[in-house]
Copies of this chain bind each other. A is one copy, B any other.
C-alpha cells in the first residue's frame, strides 16, 4: 500500500475495504505540478481542494515589501485546504517547492468524502494535526534559537515522512533550498547556512545534495526539544471522547 493519502488517513481513523477503494479512486489521476508554481494564490476564490501525492508544497504569505513567510510544509498525503470554501477568498497562497503531483478534488467529491463517517473522522484528525503543527511552529519561532528550531523541524519532517513511508531510518529529502528553509524559520539564508554548519559540526546531521542524513536522531531531538506529541500519531483512533459517532459526522 504505497498511497500516502490512505496511509496518512489510517493514522487518524479505521477504514473498511470499501473506504479504501473509494479513497484510492479519489486519489488517483494526480496531475504533475512543476516546481515553484502556485496551486492557489492569495485573493483567489477557493475551488478545488488540493491533495499532494508526491513532492513538496507549502503554505506561504508574501508581505508588501517582498518578505515571505512559509507557514506549513505539505508532504505527500497532505490535504492543503480542506475547509476554506467557507471563506470568500484565500488569505494566503499555496505553492510547490519541488516538482510534485497533486489531485484536484472538486467540492462535490469532498462532500462525498465527509459524508462517510470514518473518512470524515480521518479528515478531521488531519485538520487538527495541521493546526497542532502550526502551533508548534509558533512555539519554535517564538522560543527556540535557530539551531533548536532547525533540529525541531528536521525531527518533525522525518517523522511525518516516515509516516507515509518516504523517509529512511535516518534520512530524507529536504524540501526546497536553504532560502526556503530560511523563509520557513524566519531567519536569513546566510544564517540557515551557518546553523546547518553548527549541526553538522556537532555530528547531528550530514548533507548530501538534497538528502539530509540524521547522524544521531536521539541527540537531535534533545537539541530541538522535540516531543512528537502534537503530531498525534498514536492517539488518533477512537481514544477521543466526543460528540458521539452519529454526531461526529456533522
A contact set with B: CB distance below 8 Å: 12, 45-47, 59, 61, 63-64, 67, 69, 71, 83-89, 91-92, 107-108, 110-111, 114-115, 120-121, 124-125, 127-128, 131-132, 134-135, 137-139, 141-143, 183, 185-186, 225, 229-230, 232, 234-236, 239-244, 247-250
Contacts and interface: CB of A to CB of B under 8 A. Distances in A.
A128 B61 CA distance: 16
Given A63-B143, A86-B128, A143-B186, A241 B138 contact: no
Contacts of A185: 142
A115 B85 contact: no
Given A186-B143, A240-B86, A243-B107, A250 B64 contact: no
Contact of A243 (B88, B108, B125, B235): B108
Contacts of A138: 69, 71, 134, 137-138, 141
Contacts of A59: 135
Nearest to A239: B88
Contact of A142 (B87, B125, B186, B243): B186
Contact of A242 (B12, B91, B107): B107
B225 A64 contact: yes
A128 B239 contact: no
Given A91-B232, A108-B243, A111-B243, 7 more contacts: A46-B240, A84-B240, A86-B125, A87-B232, A88-B239, A115-B250, A134-B134
Contacts of A108: 243-244
A242 B85 contact: yes
Given A88-B239, A138-B137, A239-B88, A111 B247 contact: yes
A210 B124 CA distance: 39
A240 B45 CA distance: 7
A85 B239 CA distance: 9
Nearest to A186: B142
A71 B141 CA distance: 11
A83 B46 contact: no
Given A108-B243, A139-B63, A186-B141, A87 B134 contact: no
A250 B247 contact: no
